[in-house]
């Protein structure tokens, strides 16, 4: 944040909270932008078996989350089949 001591001590708690939230948002946005570039480059290389996603680069989808997503997709597919059969 690069605040000087007198600037930090003169801030109200609300100002500090807003500054902190803004810094976190900018950091997250920059991280996502860089992950997008990595994803584009990796997918464009053509050397991957599976398409790389931004969530994979950021580490947001752990194995347990991937299993949950796969299970949800199975349930939705089964529901679609039942609707089509009716």
pLDDT tens-digit readout, 59-77: 876 677 778 888 888 999 9
* pLDDT reading at 27 higher than 90: yes
pLDDT band at 3 (very low <50, low <70, confident <90, very high): confident
Separation of alpha carbons 7 and 9, rounded Å: 6
Answer with the residue of higher pLDDT: 2 or 52. 52
Longest dimension (CA), the chain: 71
Q: In 3-state terms, what secondary structure has residue 38? A: helix
> What's residue 8's pLDDT?
82
| 18 within 8 A of 40, measured Cβ to Cβ | no
């Amino acid at each position: 944040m690069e605040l000087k001591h007198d600037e930090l001590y003169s801030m109200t708690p609300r100002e500090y909270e807003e500054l902190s939230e803004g810094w976190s948002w900018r950091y997250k946005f920059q991280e996502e932008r860089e992950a997008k570039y990595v994803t584009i480059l990796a997918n464009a290389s053509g050397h991957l078996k599976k398409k790389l996603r931004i969530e994979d680069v950021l580490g947001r989808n752990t194995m347990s989350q991937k299993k949950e997503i796969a299970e949800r997709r199975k349930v939705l597919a089964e529901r679609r089949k039942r609707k089509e059969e009716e």
